[in-house]
Each structure stands twice: as C-alpha cells, then as structure tokens.
Amino acid sequence: MNHSTYLRYELLRSFRNKRFMILSLAFPLVLFLLVGGTHRHDMFSGISFPLYFMAAMATLGSMAAMLSSAGTIAADRATGWMRQMRITPLTDRAYFQAKVVTAYSRAVLTMVLLGVAGVLLGVHLGISGWFTMIGLLLVGLIPFALMGIVLGHVIGNDASAPAVGGLVTLFALLGGVYGFQIATRGPMFDFIRVLPSYWLVQAGKTALHGGSWAPEGWIVMGLWTAALIPLALVTYRRDTDRV
C-alpha cells in the first residue's frame, strides 16, 4: 500500500511541534551564531573556528533531532494513540519509515540552516567538503534514529524530555562536540570510542580535514546499527503486537 499520506501527516505534526524544534534547531543555531560570531577570525585545530563550530553544532542538532523521536513515541503511548493505531492496518514498515523519515527531515533542516548561517559568517568549504561532511553525518545518524525509537518505546512520557535532553548532552560531551575530549587515552578513551557519538562528531571533524572514518569507526557504527535494529523491532512490537 502507498503510505505517502500517512507519512505526510506524521511530518506535518512533527514540524508543527515548536517545543521539539528548540532542542534540535534553535539551540544549536543560536549557539553557533553567538559563539561562532564572536570568534569569527579565530583558528581551531588547523581550520577556521566558525567552520569547526558549524560542523560541531550540526552534529549536536542532528543528533538531538534523531533522539527526539522518543518524545512523540512516548507521548503516543501515554495518550492511547498507539493503542488506537494497533487496531488499524498500519504496517511495521510504514511506522518505521515515518519515524525515520521524520527524524531525518528535522536533522537535514538543522544542517541546512547551520550551513546557511555558516556561509553568512564567512565559512569556506569546497563542494566535496560539504558533501563528505553531510554524507558522513547522515550515515552516522542511523544508530541515533534507531535509539530514538527504542527510547520512545521503553520510557515513560514524563521522563522522555529529560531523558532526550540528558542523552544529547552526555553524547555531545563524550563525543567532544564542544572542542575538547574528556579523555585522550586509557580505559575512558576506549569507552568513548565504542560510542556512536564519538564517531558522529569525528564525521564532522574528519570531513573538514578531507578524510573519512577510520575502519574502527565504520565497525563501531555498523555494530550499533546491527544491535539497535532488532531492539527497535522488539520494543515496538511489545507495545503494538496484535493478537
């Protein structure tokens, strides 16, 4: 069956939710304009600071866009909407498609706005640079899209906002979004390197230097994705399986 109508209204209700847009859109954009604007001519680890910080904020915002799926899902469960959907012919595929496309649309909007803001602040990046950065970020967001769905199906509605906010902050900090690493060697660094957040942040950074992930990065992202796909299916089915 054609699910475009269902998807269209899922997108519509997501983009009308102003509160949702704050964490994933307004917050990174304002932070970029404030911090990037005051350090317009500074350099940071070999590149211009606004360029670095634009990539960092795009990473933060798009990650938040992915994880915030948890908010709608938890709300749909709490209000009984998920039960109402269980007695419709909505398929697993249409459901996951809608959730993932909605999250990616929010993420892409964040990237586009930050890109425009970056150009306005005088950021210079070649065509291939833009493509590599955005491409790697889009791939790197896959585990986060799944994580948002899993979280939405296991967490209560009241806890969803602090959980998403807390998780975004934690991942940003551990991943090094703000320009410093909590650890650069030892067991803590080993731990940080098996989290998808580290490689998501690296996606932005390495792309700016003209590279891609180390093989380790692809393996970590692949493993997280492989683990989260069945988990998302199981937690979704537990909430919605028809008898």
Partner 1 sequence: MTSTLSKHASPQSTHGGIVLAGLTKSYGDVLAVREIDLSLAAGETVALLGPNGAGKSTTIDMILGLTRPDGGSVALFGMTPAEAVTAGIVGGMLQTGSLIPYLQVRELVTMVASLYPRALPVDHVLDLTGSTAFADQATNALSGGQTQRVRFAIALVANPDLLVLDEPTASLDVEGRREFWAAMRKVASQGATVIFATHYLEEADQFADRIVLMAQGRIVADGASTEIKSMVHRRTIRLTLPGVAQTKLSELPAVTAVERRGDSWILTSADSDTSVRGLLQSYPAAHDIEVQGAALEEAFLALTSDTNTNTNIDTAKEGLTQS
Tell me how far apart the alpha carbons of residues 57 and 60 are, in angstroms, rounded to a whole number. Answer: 5
Minimum CB–partner distance for residue 15 and partner 1 (Å): 8
Task: Check if the beta carbon of residue 175 is closer than 8 Å to that of residue 198.
Answer: yes
Which tokens in the block code for residue 169?
């902050």
At residue 204, what are phi and psi to the nearest 5 degrees?
-60, -50
Which tokens in the block code for residue 202?
């690296």
Q: Does 79 bind partner 1 (CB under 8 A)?
A: yes
Q: Which C-beta is closer to partner 1: that of 94 or that of 108?
A: 94
Q: Where are the beta strands (DSSP E) in the chain?
A: 43-44, 47-48
Q: Does 9 bind partner 1 (CB under 8 A)?
A: yes
- The residue within the footprint of partner 1, chosen from 25, 32, 76, 148 (CB under 8 A), is 76
Which tokens in the block code for residue 195?
């989290």
- The residue within the footprint of partner 1, chosen from 22, 40, 81, 219 (CB under 8 A), is 81
Closest listed residue to residue 40, CA positions, set 117, 113, 111 = 117
Minimum CB–partner distance for residue 10 and partner 1 (Å): 8
Which residue do the tokens 């704050």 mark?
A: 22
Q: Does 45 bind partner 1 (CB under 8 A)?
A: no
The site map against partner 1 for 86-125 (x = CB under 8 A) is: xxxxx---x-------------------------------
Chain residues in the site for partner 1 (CB under 8 A): 1, 3, 5-6, 9-10, 12-14, 16-17, 75-76, 79-81, 83-84, 86-90, 94, 242-243
